[in-house]
Chain A
Amino acid sequence: MFDRDVWQEIFFTLKSNKLRTFLTGFSVGWAIFILVMLLASVNGMQNGFTGQFNDDATNSIFVRPGTTTKAYAGFEEGRRIQLKNDDVAYIRESFPNDIEYISGRYFTNTSARYKSETGSYPVQAVDPEFQIIEKTIITKGRYFNDADVANAAKVAVIGRKVREDLFKKEDPIGKFVELNGLSFKIIGIFTDDGDDNAERRLYAPLSTYQRIYGNTDNINQVALTYNPRYDLAKALEFSDRLEILMKRRHKVSPEDQSGINIWNYAEAFDNISSFSAVLSTVSIAVAFLILIAGIVGIGNIMIFTIKERTKEIGVRKALGAKPSQIINLVLLEATFITTISGFVGLIFAWIILSLIGPAIKTPAFSNPSVSLSTVITATIILIIAGVLAGLLPAIKAANVKPIVALNDK
């Protein structure tokens, strides 16, 4: 294989048929290019999905109330379900072993003013444990704690974007900002792995908001994380139990999905994982079909080359070349073209990905890239493809009868 004479011959044939070599190689290079781009795209989508999910803890569940669509237990349909603080306490007490963190969630909007800067932002009034559920990262200062909740302290944690809007270059920690006319002390700044919108938002203690804006104990949502040691099956089983319990508590029909909706990340994540698995399978299949076309192309060209070189092969056989040596030569040539052109396709795809990859940043698609394992797989596929492409022509070459080849009269 590492024989100088063999390589000299291969290079000669390739060199003397530059256009043919290029066209042949192109088909395989193109196939690999498509394969890599498809895989990278699927990878990008996966990254996009998981990126969105990583915004929150992957073991989180949201209990979302709505309006009933079925009459049940003596109630008519169309009843609005309202969650209250005691729902949080009830869930916590009902599932002491299943729940890791739990928090009520109250959504509102506020206008905010600091000196001459104003803005309008969503506010999430939550309990301190929500920091972990939402994976909020505090870059400066602190999140509110149980003492702030107990005192219904007028404190707020602001997003990085809010800070940029209102405070410019000033350090906001300890400063007071007016939210709907009431003065709140800024105690922390957060960033979020999600998009910019997730950072253009404020967090405040749930108790504070409930007291000063309405004096209720209503909440919009219950967010919780379950025991992180749970696998998917156990997580689903737990969310089913939670659903049954909550529906019973609020007298919602077990079949009514809009009265109370339990949204489980694990389930959604599982759906998306299998979706992207199907997607990668489909793209691999498509790329393979294209690759087959490339292999046929190479095989075709090799047969043609051998027809042209029949005489030379005949001479070699007359000089004592064994059929295996002829097969070796042809296979090596086919594998060589396939591998080289495949790598060119691979490198092209890689260059394009590294140029445009970082530029693409939408929620659904981020950082499309090829892993080392993809590259290794592609290489193995290429070598196999080369051997397949060369096999038929090689056998044809080995069967060249020297007498026919040399019949020059």
Chain B
Amino acid sequence: MIEIKELHKSYKMGSNSLHVLKGINISIAEGELVAIMGSSGSGKSTLLNILGMLDVADTGDYTLDNVPIKDLNETKAAKYRNKFLGFVFQSFNLINYKSAMENVALPLYYQKVNRKERQKKALKYLEQVGLKEWASHLPSELSGGQKQRVAIARAMAAEPKVLLADEPTGALDSTTSYEVMDLIQKINDDGNTILIVTHEPDIADMCKRIVHLKDGVIVEDKKIEQVRASAYV
């Protein structure tokens, strides 16, 4: 599903440049649930941003679902993001004046799905994350865990090839974190490819594969026995 070869990225910080990714090679197959771990400054967020086409690599190849991702302009990137990727953020990033359902329907709006269809689909995904009754509520009326579940429903609504989650449990307490992870595992069980950036080992243990980044290189890449979050819920 994802093929990364010799990916380099550096940032200009005034006169000196900071080499953040120093040749990343990784291949992720369909249906994997991968945790990208590393301390802050290891380049894990940069890697996720490049995977999410929010940022562009300096050199290296990136292939997503057999589509080479290169020469991106804004419009093309927008199209690919909409078609291939679903994002889940640490701070949820729901639009605060839109109801839960409207938030979930937003990516479908950008896919030019008509209004009725959007609402139907949005409700379906809200039901999947167990928030159908909350469809008409604004984000401010939801708890942190509920917000993240809405965000996950939103990420899934566009039926992306890959779900990218940047510290999805970073702003949640441990019980709520496990609920969210339970949901992510279930989505993964359905065959969806998911990448999670995290620095919490217990969250990483709930994935099927852990990639360790340190100073811009992969220092460890191992498949693990998944811990089911449902055991803690």
Cβ–Cβ < 8 Å partners of B109 in chain A? 5
Known contacts A318-B81, A320-B79, A398-B74: A325-B110 contact under CB 8 Å: yes
Taking CB atoms and an 8 Å cut-off, the chain A residues in 1-39 that contact chain B are 4-5, 9, 12, 16
Query: B200 near A: Cβ within 8 Å?
Result: no
Contact between A406 and B110 (Cβ–Cβ < 8 Å)?
no
Taking CB atoms and an 8 Å cut-off, the chain B residues in 2-55 that contact chain A are 40, 45, 49, 52, 54-55
Contact between A319 and B110 (Cβ–Cβ < 8 Å)?
yes
Contact between B111 and A409 (Cβ–Cβ < 8 Å)?
no
Contact between A320 and B97 (Cβ–Cβ < 8 Å)?
no
Complex Cα–Cα for A321 and B93 (A): 15
Taking CB atoms and an 8 Å cut-off, the chain B residues in 80-138 that contact chain A are 81-83, 87, 89-91, 93, 95, 97, 102, 106-107, 109-111, 115
Complex Cα–Cα for A109 and B16 (A): 101
Query: B209 near A: Cβ within 8 Å?
Result: no
Cβ–Cβ < 8 Å partners of B79 in chain A? 320, 322
Binding-face segment, A63-71, A169-177, A282-290, A309-317: A309-317
Known contacts A319-B107, A319-B110, A322-B110: A403-B81 contact under CB 8 Å: no
CB distance from A189 to the nearest CB of B (A): 72
Query: B162 near A: Cβ within 8 Å?
Result: no
Contact between B110 and A4 (Cβ–Cβ < 8 Å)?
no
Q: What's the count of A-B pairs with C-beta under 8 Å?
A: 70
Task: Name the residue of chain A whose CB is nearest to the CB of B50.
Answer: A403
- Contact residue among B54, B93, B106 (Cβ-Cβ distance under 8 Å from A403): B54
Contact between A408 and B91 (Cβ–Cβ < 8 Å)?
yes
Contact between A402 and B54 (Cβ–Cβ < 8 Å)?
yes
Known contacts A4-B115, A406-B89: A320-B107 contact under CB 8 Å: yes
Task: Name the residue of chain B whose CB is nearest to the CB of A312.
Answer: B95
Contact between A409 and B45 (Cβ–Cβ < 8 Å)?
yes
Chain A contact residue count (CB 8 A cutoff):
26
Contact between B154 and A319 (Cβ–Cβ < 8 Å)?
yes
Complex Cα–Cα for A314 and B93 (A): 9
Complex Cα–Cα for A395 and B97 (A): 23
- Contact residue among B97, B110, B154, B167 (Cβ-Cβ distance under 8 Å from A321): B110
Complex Cα–Cα for A239 and B107 (A): 78
Cβ–Cβ < 8 Å partners of B75 in chain A? 322-324
Chain B contact residue count (CB 8 A cutoff):
30
Binary B-proximity of A394-409 (CB < 8 A = 1, otherwise 0): 0000100111001011
Cβ–Cβ < 8 Å partners of B55 in chain A? 403
Task: Name the residue of chain B whose CB is nearest to the CB of A5.
Answer: B109
Taking CB atoms and an 8 Å cut-off, the chain A residues in 279-334 that contact chain B are 311-312, 314-325
- Contact residue among B87, B93, B97, B167 (Cβ-Cβ distance under 8 Å from A16): B97
- Contact residue among A319, A322, A406 (Cβ-Cβ distance under 8 Å from B106): A319
Task: Name the residue of chain B whose CB is nearest to the CB of A311.
Answer: B93
Cβ–Cβ < 8 Å partners of A321 in chain B? 78, 110
Most buried by A among B79, B110, B158: B110
Binary A-proximity of B146-166 (CB < 8 A = 1, otherwise 0): 000000001000100000000
Complex Cα–Cα for A321 and B154 (A): 14
Task: Name the residue of chain B whose CB is nearest to the CB of A319.
Answer: B107
Complex Cα–Cα for A321 and B90 (A): 20
Contact between B93 and A320 (Cβ–Cβ < 8 Å)?
no
Contact between B54 and A320 (Cβ–Cβ < 8 Å)?
no
Contact between A318 and B95 (Cβ–Cβ < 8 Å)?
no
CB distance from A313 to the nearest CB of B (A): 10
Cβ–Cβ < 8 Å partners of B74 in chain A? 317, 322-323, 398
CB distance from A394 to the nearest CB of B (A): 13
Contact between A403 and B49 (Cβ–Cβ < 8 Å)?
yes
Known contacts A4-B115, A12-B97, A406-B89: A320-B49 contact under CB 8 Å: no
Contact between A320 and B158 (Cβ–Cβ < 8 Å)?
yes
Contact between A315 and B90 (Cβ–Cβ < 8 Å)?
no
Complex Cα–Cα for A312 and B95 (A): 7
Cβ–Cβ < 8 Å partners of A401 in chain B? 54
Contact between B90 and A408 (Cβ–Cβ < 8 Å)?
yes
Cβ–Cβ < 8 Å partners of B90 in chain A? 408-409
Question: Given A320-B111, A403-B49, 16 more contacts at CB 8 Å?
Answer: A5-B102, A16-B97, A312-B95, A315-B89, A316-B106, A317-B74, A319-B82, A319-B106, A319-B107, A319-B158, A320-B81, A322-B75, A322-B110, A323-B74, A406-B54, A408-B89
User: B: which residues have CB within 8 A of A?
Assistant: 40, 45, 49, 52, 54-55, 74-75, 78-79, 81-83, 87, 89-91, 93, 95, 97, 102, 106-107, 109-111, 115, 154, 158, 167
User: A: which residues have CB within 8 A of B?
Assistant: 4-5, 9, 12, 16, 311-312, 314-325, 398, 401-403, 406, 408-409
Give 10 nearest A-B pairs by CB, closest first.
Answer: A320-B82, A320-B110, A403-B54, A322-B78, A319-B107, A12-B97, A315-B93, A323-B74, A408-B91, A402-B54
Instruction: Jot down 29 A-B pairs with beta carbons below 8 A, ordered by A.
Output: A4-B115, A9-B97, A16-B97, A311-B93, A314-B93, A316-B110, A318-B54, A318-B81, A318-B87, A318-B93, A319-B81, A319-B82, A319-B110, A319-B154, A320-B79, A320-B82, A320-B83, A320-B107, A320-B110, A320-B111, A321-B78, A322-B79, A322-B110, A323-B75, A325-B110, A406-B93, A408-B91, A408-B93, A409-B45
